[in-house]
Amino acid sequence: MKILLTGVAGFIGMGVALRLLARGDEIVGIDNLNDYYDVSLKKSRLDCLQPHPRFRFVRMDVADRPGMSALFATEKFDRVIHLAAQAGVRYSLQNPLAYVDSNILGFANVLEGCRHTQVAHLVYASSSSVYGGNTQMPFSESDNVDHPVSFYAATKKANELMAHTYSHLYGLPTTGLRFFTVYGPWGRPDMALFLFTRAILQGQAIDVFNHGKMQRDFTYIDDIVEGVLRVVDRVASASLSHESAPADPASHHAPYRIFNIGNNKPVSLLDFIACIESALGKKAVKNYLPMQDGDVPVTFANTDALSEWVGFAPSTSLEYGVGQFVQWYRDYYRV
C-alpha cells in the first residue's frame, strides 16, 4: 500500500515506518522537525529510514493547509497514519496555541485530505490523557471522557470528535488509538524514562511528582507498533446498525473505532525508578514534589476491545523494555 505517515521523525513514527517498509509498503513521511525537543535525535531517526528505496521524506507542517491539500491530491494515498502532534501534557500549560495549530488545525487538514481523495482508512493517535480525572479502573473505551484535565487532552478528545463527524458525514473509516505511556529505544527526551536515565547517569536528582504516589500503564514501543499495523490493516466499520440505539460511547453507527493500546498493567512510579536503577546499576537521588497541574495519579488500559478486534494486546515486561532502552541510550550517547 501507499501510506502517508505524519510525524515520521517522531518516536512512534519511526518505529511504524520501519515495520511498514519491511513488509513492502511505500511510505511518504512528513514531519516539521520542530524544536520541541532535540532535532538531532529526530534527524537520527530519519537517517534510519532514508536508505529504504520505498521511503520518501517531505518536510512539512500538518498545519500547512495548501501544502497538505497538494500532497494529498498528488500522491493519492491508500491509507493514512496520523501521528504528528504537539506532544506533552506539561508544555500545554505554557503554550496552548501550539496545540491548536498542530493538533486541531493540523488534524482538520488531514481529515480534509482523506475526504477529498477517498482514503480507505485513517488511523490516528489519540491519548490515554482523554480519560482525565476518571477514577473507574481500568479505563475503558465505554467510559465518559468529557472531563479532560489538560489542554493537550482536550485537543485529543477534539480529534476523536472530529474523526467521528467525518466518519458519519462522509463515510471515512477512522480508527483512533489511545496510547498509554509509550517507552523504549529512540524514545522522547521529555519523557520520564529518558529524563531519569540521563539524570541518574549524571549524578543529578530526579523529580518524583506526587511524592511517588503515581501509577502508569507503561507500553513498550514494539507493542505499540504491532498494534498500529494490525489496526491499519483492519478498516474501521460501524459497530451498530442504523436501527440500534448507541448503548455506550464506544458504539457507533459510523465507520469509526476507538481503542486503548496499553500494557493493561499499571506500575508504580517508585517501582519504575527501581527498574531503571537496576538496569543502570546506579541509584537515583530523588527529589519528591507535589502533583503537577494537568497530571493524573493513575492510568490503566482495558485492552479487551483491541484484542477482540485485531487479536493482539501489548504484554512486554517493564524489565525487558527498560533494559532495551538503557542499552540503546548507552550506545547512542556513548555513556
Point out the residues that are catalytic: 152
Amino acid at residue number 206: I
Beta-bridge partner residues of 102? none
Count the neighbouring beta carbons within 10 Å of the beta carbon of residue 268: 14
- Angle between helix 11-23 and helix 221-233 axes, rounded to 10 deg: 50
Q: Residue 258 is inside which H or E element, if any?
A: strand 256-261
**Cβ–Cβ under 8 Å, residues 301 and 264:** yes
Count the neighbouring beta carbons within 10 Å of the beta carbon of residue 86: 22
Count the neighbouring beta carbons within 10 Å of the beta carbon of residue 241: 7
Count the neighbouring beta carbons within 10 Å of the beta carbon of residue 137: 14
Record the cell numbers describing residue 298, joined without a space.
493513575
3-state secondary structure at position 167: helix
3-state secondary structure at position 80: strand
- Angle between helix 192-201 and helix 318-333 axes, rounded to 10 deg: 60
| Spatial separation of the C-alpha atoms in residues 182 and 270, rounded to whole Å | 18
